[in-house]
Amino acid sequence: MVYDVAIIGAGVTGAMTARELSRYELSVCVIEKESDVAMGASKANSGIVHAGFDAKSGTLKARFNVEGSLMMEKITKELGVKYKRNGSMVLAFREEERDVLLELYERGIRNGVGGLEIINGERIRELEENVSDKALYALHAKTGAIVCPYELTIAAMGHAMDNGVELFLESRVLDISCDNGAFEVETTKGTIKARYIINAAGLYADKISRMVGDDSFEITPRKGEYLLLDKELCGLVGHTIFKVPTKMGKGVLVSPTVDGNILLGPTSEDIYDKEDTQTTRVGIEKIINSAAECVKNIPFGSVITSFTGLRATTKNGDFLITAPKPNFLNLAGIDSPGLTAAPAIAVHVSNMLKDMGLELVEKKDYTSTRKIYQVEKSRYNKMVCRCEKVSEGKIIEAIHTNPKAITVDAIKRRTRSGMGRCQGGFCMPSVVSILARELGIDVCEVRKSGGDSRIVVGKKE
C-alpha cells in the first residue's frame, strides 16, 4: 500500500503530528528506529512547558512556544496525562542581571506571554523558602507548567494509533527514493511507500534530509545530563527554578516533576557523537554545584538516578521547518522549547500539507479519547512495584494499550514500575515474567530496551 503520510521519528514532534493528522481521512504511519516511542530527546528533557519569554521575538521558537503553551493544558486533559501549572522563576544573583530579567520580561510581553512579573528577594522567599538567600530578583512566570515528556509522547502516539495511525518500531530508515510521485522509504524492516514524508528524526533529521538531496543543514547534539531526586524531597521547590540564561541555553534548573520527584539539570555541551548518552562525573558535579547555587539544602544523597538527553540543535538556533522537496517536510532542530511547541508545530504541519495539496477530510469515526486495554479488575489489586505502587493490572494494560510496551523500560515509562527509589530492584523479575507471559515469548527473550539488551542470558539447566 501507499500511505498518504509517513512520519519519520516517534518523538514528541512526530507523535503530536501523527495525532493531529489522525483526525483526517488519511493513511498515516510512523517509522521509528528504536524499540519504543520517545526514545530520543523526548525521553530525557526537563519536562517544562515554557511560558515563552526565552525565544527571540519573531522566531519560529517564539511563535510555537507561546501557541503550544496555550494548547498544552487542553491536550493533556484529552490524553489523560499529568499537567501542572507550577509557574517558573528566573533568578538574578547580581544587580546587573536584573537588566537581563527586564529584557526577558519585555521579550515575553512582545511574544504574547501573560502572567509575568519581576519580584524581589523577599517575595522570592515567600513563594519558595528554599531558594538561595543570594537571589536578589526573579522573573516570575505564572504560566510556566510541567508535564512528563515521555508520558505525553506515548499518549499522543497511542491516541493517534487508536485513530488508525500505524507505528513501525525498530525500523531504521536506510534510504529514501522517489518513484512516480510516491516516496519509497527503505528501512531495516522493509520498504514503506508514502505520498508525503515528514522528517521528525530529531538528531538524525540532517541525515534523513540528505537522503532526498538536501544538505543545507546539520544537527549538532547538545548533551544535557540530569539528576533525579527521591520523592521524599517533594516540596523542596514548587516552581521551576532557572538562573538567567546564557548562550548555551537556560542553564541548570531545579524543578518538581509531575510525578513528585525533583529534577536537577541539564548541563549543556555540544558534542559530535549522536549516540553518546553517557553521564559523566564532570557533568554530575556541574549539576550539583549549579543547583546548589539556586536552591539551599539539596540532599544530594537522595539522588535515585541520573540520565542524559541529547538535544538536536541547528546552527542558527531556531526551529527549522522547511520543504526542501515537494511533499517532503523537515521538522528539524526542535530543541527547547520543542516539547511545549510540539502541539502547535503539529497544527502548522497539517496546514502546510494542505497547502501542498493533501486533502484533509475530518474522520467521522474519530475517537477523542484513548482506548485503554481492559484488564480484570482484581489485577489492579495485585501490587508489583512497591515503591511506586504499580499493580499487575497497570502493567498488563501497558503491554496491550497503544503504543504497546514490548520492553522492561517501555513498561517503566508507561507505569513508573521500576522508576522509584529501588529502581526496579524488587519488581524487575516480576515485570520480566509478566512481559514474557503477555507477549507469549520466552523469559530469555525479554529485553530491557532495544537491540540485544536481554535481561537474562539463559536458564539454569
Partner 1 sequence: MQTKDLVIIGGGPAGMAAAVSAYGKGIRDLLIIERDESLGGILQQCIHNGFGLHMFKEELTGPEYAWRYEKMILDLGIPFKLNSMVVDISKDKVITYVNEEEGEVKIKAKAIILAMGCRERSRGALNIPGTRPAGIYTAGTAQKFINMMGLMVGRQVVILGSGDIGLIMARRMTLEGASVKAVCEIMPYSSGLARNIVQCLDDFNIPLKLGHTVTKIHGKDRLEGVTISKVDENRRPIPGTEEYTECDTLLLSVGLIPENELTKGMGIELDGSTRGAVVDQNRETSLEGVFSCGNVLHVHDLVDYVSEEAYIAGEAAARYIKGERVKNNNISVTASDNVSYVVPQRITSDKEKVKIYFRTKNELDNVQIIVSDCENVVYKAKRRKTKPGEMEYVTMAEDVLNNIKGNEISLKVIGE
User: Among 186-194, 246-254, 345-353, 374-382, which window interacts with partner 1 (CB under 8 A)?
Assistant: 374-382
> Taking CB under 8 A as the rule, does residue 421 contact partner 1?
yes
Write down the least CB distance from residue 101 to partner 1, Å.
33
Q: Does an H or E element contain 384, and which?
A: strand 383-385
> Taking CB under 8 A as the rule, does residue 233 contact partner 1?
no
Q: Nearest Cα to 320, choosing from 10, 15, 13, 7?
A: 13
> Taking CB under 8 A as the rule, does residue 383 contact partner 1?
yes
Dist. CA 2–CA 261, nearest whole Å: 45
Q: Which residues contact 206 (CB under 8 A, 6 or more apart)?
A: 215, 217, 218, 219, 332
Q: Which of residues 259-288 bind partner 1 (CB under 8 A)?
A: 275, 277-281, 283-284
Task: Find out whether 31 and 193 touch, Cβ atoms under 8 Å.
Answer: no
- In the shown chain, the binding pattern of residues 336 to 355 toward partner 1, with x for contact by CB under 8 A and - for none, equals --------------------
Task: Find out whether 193 and 314 touch, Cβ atoms under 8 Å.
Answer: no
Write down the least CB distance from residue 231 to partner 1, Å.
9
> Taking CB under 8 A as the rule, does residue 424 contact partner 1?
yes
- Chain-centroid distance of CA 362 in Å reads 27
Is-catalytic flag, 50? yes
- In the shown chain, the binding pattern of residues 184 to 223 toward partner 1, with x for contact by CB under 8 A and - for none, equals ----------------------------------------
> Taking CB under 8 A as the rule, does residue 246 contact partner 1?
no
Write down the least CB distance from residue 242 to partner 1, Å.
23
> Taking CB under 8 A as the rule, does residue 290 contact partner 1?
no
Task: List the end-to-end C-alpha distance of the chain, in Å, as a whole number.
Answer: 47
User: Among 184-192, 303-311, 328-336, 350-358, which window interacts with partner 1 (CB under 8 A)?
Assistant: 303-311
**One-letter amino acid for residue 16 of the chain:** M
Residues in contact with partner 1, total (CB under 8 A)?
Answer: 50
Write down the least CB distance from residue 430 to partner 1, Å.
9
Sort strands 328-332 and 253-256 into parallel, antiparallel or unpaired.
unpaired
SS in 3 state form for 59-122? CHHHHHHHHHHHHHHHHHHHHCCCEECCCEEEEECCCCHHHHHHHHHHHHHHHCCCCEEEEEHH
Which three cell numbers mark 127?
Answer: 513563594
Which residue among 425, 437, 441, 445 contacts partner 1 (CB under 8 A)? Answer: 425
The phi, psi pair for 316, rounded to 5°, reads -80, -5
SS3 assignment, position 23: coil
User: Among 125-133, 206-214, 329-337, 384-392, which window interacts with partner 1 (CB under 8 A)?
Assistant: 384-392
Dist. CA 256–CA 265, nearest whole Å: 12
Task: Find out whether 115 and 108 touch, Cβ atoms under 8 Å.
Answer: no
- Chain-centroid distance of CA 121 in Å reads 33
> Taking CB under 8 A as the rule, does residue 452 contact partner 1?
yes
> Taking CB under 8 A as the rule, does residue 429 contact partner 1?
yes
Residues that bind partner 1 (CB under 8 A): 227-228, 232, 275, 277-281, 283-284, 301, 303-307, 378-379, 381-383, 386-387, 389, 421-426, 428-429, 433, 443-444, 447-460
**Catalytic residues, which ones?**
50
